[in-house]
Copies of this chain bind each other. A is one copy, B any other.
Amino acid sequence: MARGSTRPTSRDVAQAAGVSQAAVSLVLGDKWRGRVSEPTAQRVREAASELGYRPNLAARNLRLGRTRTVLLVVPALTTEFFAEVYTGAARVAAAHGFGVVLYPSPEGVGPARDPFASAQAALDGVIASSMAADALTAIRGDQLPLVMLDSDPDGSLGAATVNLDIADGIRQVTEHLLSLGHRSFLHLAADVPSWTFDVRARELAARLADVPGTDLRTVHAPISIEGALTATEAALAAPGPRPTALVCDDDKLAAGAYKAIRRAGLRVPDDLSVTGLDDLGLATAIDPELTTVRLDAEAFGERGMRALLAVLEGRPPEEGDLPVSLVVRGSTAPPR
């Protein structure tokens, strides 16, 4: 404590306990079995807590050459979806002695700076959502082990991928609407370049192509209430017969669509059935409650973290997509 205001180091602890710095490291690192006697170990622990010692992580990271920290790159956290992904990832990480640092790419669409400089932390690996596409070039630059969430499995980055079975979700939605009798579809698609949205469009089109007498139009919108509102308003004002089913790329878009439908003097589901995807809290906050596809965001995050741990340890990551399920609520009904 000669220095007064600087944080105590392991050497300070050693001096207080009357042992060498190495002994402190052994005791506090739990590597002391058969190397340090129990009474001595106890003295060290007491001195450490007495001084309020906290190891200097920068020094530890330098010494060990690893940080046990991974970066989770996600799009702006404007829904709880990625918050839950984080929760799942963080839980698995903690169980393995890892920490997770969140990098939400800035909300404005402007290309992200270098997430690594920005997060400033030294990292062992990266988990990235394919929706945070603007950060990908920076990621590719580094040699860090990488796991992609909801990304093209055959993508050009040689990274492991963890995917939700979005295709199956869209299949279930389509089946549900078809069985209700719908034939005329409008697809409210997210205006974001990402595999996870491509697959929605592809699957919907493919499924409807199998059924004679169906038609499908598509309109794109940025993922926001306002964006969905204006896009849907424009689509509803278009000439030609009005579609009876509106398939939205996610719940937020559906919420925006609700507003447009109300403004047009129409009602859900009487005039138009609407479906979402995510099953956010929003889905049950709006009236009528939204028929949507439930994604298990926490399991998604857990799986992502497990995949990264596997990559770090040279093991092959788990195979297979995560299952999703259709939740039928009040926003879908037979067409009139």
Question: Using a CB–CB distance below 8 Å, which chain A residues touch chain B?
Answer: 7, 52, 54, 56-59, 61-62, 67-69, 76-80, 82-84, 86-87, 90-91, 94, 98-102, 104, 106-107, 113, 116-122, 141-143, 224-225, 252, 255-256, 258-259, 262, 281-282, 284-287
Contact = CB atoms under 8 A, between A and B. Distances in A.
A67 B78 contact: no
A287 B286 contact: yes
Chain A to chain B: the 8 pairs with minimum beta-carbon distance, closest first: A99-B120, A58-B61, A77-B83, A255-B285, A58-B62, A57-B122, A102-B102, A69-B120
A104 B80 CA distance: 12
Contacts of A286: 285-287
Nearest to A281: B225
A53 B155 CA distance: 26
A99 B117 contact: yes
Contacts of A84: 107
B141 A225 contact: no
Nearest to A115: B99
A286 B255 CA distance: 8
Given A77-B80, A259-B284, A121 B118 contact: no
B101 A121 contact: yes
A49 to B, nearest CB: 10
Nearest to A77: B83
B285 A143 contact: no
A79 B225 CA distance: 14
Contacts of A119: 69, 99, 101
Given A58-B58, A67-B120, A120-B98, A287 B287 contact: yes
Contact of A120 (B68, B143, B252, B255): B68
A59 B57 contact: no
B57 A83 contact: no
Nearest to A117: B99
Contact of A224 (B69, B259, B281): B281
Contacts of A282: 282, 285
Given A56-B62, A57-B120, A285 B285 contact: yes
A90 B77 contact: no
Nearest to A82: B77
A69 B102 contact: no
Contacts of A82: 77
Contacts of A285: 225, 255-256, 258-259, 282, 285-286
A166 B262 CA distance: 33
A287 B54 CA distance: 52
Contacts of A141: 52
A7 B116 CA distance: 15
Contacts of A79: 80
Contacts of A100: 118
Contacts of A258: 285, 287
Contacts of A78: 80, 83, 281
